[in-house]
Amino acid sequence: MAQQEEVFKKIVSHCKEYGFVFPSSDIYDGLGAVYDYGQNGVELKNNIKQYWWQSMVLLHENIVGIDAAIFMHPTTWKASGHVDAFNDPLIDNRDSKKRYRADVLIEDQMAKYEDKIQKEIDKARKKFGDAFDEAQFRATNARVLENQQKYDALHHRFQEVMNAEGGIDLEGMKQIILDEEIVCPISGTRNWTDVRQFNLMFSTEMGAAAEGTSKIYLRPETAQGIFVNYLNVQKTGRMKLPFGIAQIGKAFRNEIVARQFIFRMREFEQMEMQFFIQPGTELDWFAKWKETRMKWHQNLGFGSENYRFHDHDKLAHYANAATDIEFHMPFGFKEVEGIHSRTNFDLSQHAKYSGKKIEYFDPERNESYTPYVIETSIGVDRMFLSIMCHSYEEEQLADGQTRTVLHLPAALAPVKLAVFPLTKKDGMPEKAQEIINDLRFHFNCKYEEKDQIGKRYRRMDAIGCPFCVTVDQQTLQDNTVTLRDRDTMEQRRVAISELRGIIEDKVSITSLLKNLL
């Protein structure tokens, strides 16, 4: 784990050093859990968004997109339940004066038991090699069984307090923290306050004081912008059930325990799709969207073992199925996307609070009803983080050197092709620019003439550029260049006229989308 934490720290500094992610307002020492995307980060982020958007809107005839405002009528949040129930349970340590999310402290404690189990397994696997049988080891090893029992007991208690009648059992939560002897990581003491609820929405005032102001919220999820536009889109687009509305946009949450870099932020971006369906068909659609979304993730080629579903044991009162897609981050399996069967809760609530009839007339059934909804909701920033974590490698080379390389999926890489003149003379820079001028309409190209070729390769490896081309003396004679592959580092001589054909197919989002059909 310590080694993984080390790697994670390196990824965070790499993100800053190579223009992917900066702390917000860096010159003022940053702003907690708020980040800016740099020149390479924004390209990667845009490519992720494009991959998602096109997989939804281009590949599904019955899914359309919208872009709703961040500010919404305040009643929206009353109807959705966010004003009353969008809370986190908080606890303070009296000695360090640090504030924590009580549920996160307990989850971390569960993760400690899981880590202990994993360590035993890793040790035994090393010892027994191919003969190792993990299932048998889990069922028989005393230390594994002891930690598994502690984990199960804690998990059970945690579920009970989180899903208590009438909301989270705050006293029960504090009791778990005391019983598990959880200490504050800063002070090392168990001097805890009571647990209390804290609403996560940011609010502000709209309007000038003279006219009278009203309290409005920065949206904590993009989904409500879709629900309140359901009728607009259904009617103007003459949409027939089943159909979906997709949206990408910013969301804001006053997260108290903001940790792990861009994993939990106060300002972040979501890609959400609400799929409106006939009541009674929701579990079939839920299963279908689970499969579709998992395929989308695994299509990036990071290995199916790095993903898992985490089906929710206990559900919100309005949901009848929910799962998370978790990705294996350096700090464990973590949620990247949620898929929820939300029944007709949101549309019914908006109908009740707005006084408008929000229904669908089904011509086949000759009746009107409130559609049910399957929601897929993924965080752009978490997706970005999972991609960075998986792509980062400090590779040992045959000559004893190390190179830092980002094995980004070529279609998501910020820069697709770097073009280098071998030297700054004999017309090589001009030839290199000529190549870029021709190819820049098809994909993102970068010109680099500073330093030796080896150093230029390293810089491009570090930003995950899949292809580099070098213009040399021979180029001036026969219009061929050396094309170097980021992952294999192999170089081959190709004609300039062939470059577009070789590269375009590999770096286009279409190349990813084709596998999804």
Which residue ranges make up the site for ligand GAP (CB under 6 A)?
Answer: 221, 223, 253, 255, 264-265, 268, 270, 272, 335-338, 375, 377-379, 381-382
Residue found by looking up tokens 């003396």 in the block? 473
Nearest to 463 by CA among 406, 391, 396, 384: 406
Nearest distance from residue 180's CB to ligand GAP, in Å? 25
Q: Please state the closest distance from residue 165 (CB atom) to ligand GAP, in A.
A: 23
* Separation CA 220–CA 517 (nearest Å): 33
- Closer Cβ to ligand GAP, 375 or 472, answer by number: 375
390 versus 446: smaller Cβ distance to ligand GAP? 390
Smallest Cα–Cα separation from 302: which of 268, 325, 271, 286?
A: 325
Identify residue 376 by its one-letter amino acid code.
T
Smallest distance from ligand GAP to CB 295, Å: 17
Q: Measured from the CB atom, is 382 or 407 closer to ligand GAP? A: 382
Cβ-based nearer residue to ligand GAP, 290 or 382: 382
d(CA 160, CA 165): 9
Eight-state DSSP code of residue 371? P
Q: How far is the CB of 263 from ligand GAP (least distance, A)?
A: 6
Judged by CB, which is closer to ligand GAP: 111, or 121?
111
Instruction: Provide, rounded to whole angstroms, the least separation between the CB of residue 271 and ligand GAP.
Output: 9
Cβ–Cβ under 8 Å, residues 159 and 313: yes
C-beta closer to ligand GAP: residue 264 or 297:
264
Among residues 150 and 312, whose Cβ is nearest to ligand GAP?
312
CA 474 to chain centre: 45
For residue 122, CA distances in Å to 7, 83, 304 come to: 19, 46, 20
Closest separation in Å from C-beta 260 to ligand GAP: 10
Q: Report the DSSP pairing between strands 467-471 and 445-447.
A: unpaired
Q: Which of 104, 103, 111 is nearest to 163 (CA)?
A: 103
> Hey, is 323 helix, strand or coil?
strand
Half-sphere exposure of residue 438, counting CA atoms within 13 Å on the CB side? 14
Nearer to ligand GAP by C-beta: 338 or 464?
A: 338
Residue 7 C-beta: closest distance to ligand GAP, Å? 21
Please give the radius of gyration of the chain, using alpha carbons only, rounded to the nearest integer: 26
Q: Virtual CA dihedral for 233, 236, 238, 241, nearest 10 degrees? A: 10
Based on CB atoms, which residue is closest to ligand GAP, 334 or 486?
A: 334
CB-closest chain residue to ligand GAP? 379
Structure tokens at 82: 């966010």
User: Whats the size of the chain, residue-wise?
Assistant: 517
Question: Shortest distance, CB of residue 374 to ligand GAP, whole angstroms?
Answer: 12
Q: Look up residue 56 and give its DSSP letter.
A: I
For residue 370, the 8-state DSSP code is P
What stretch of H or E contains 494? strand 491-495
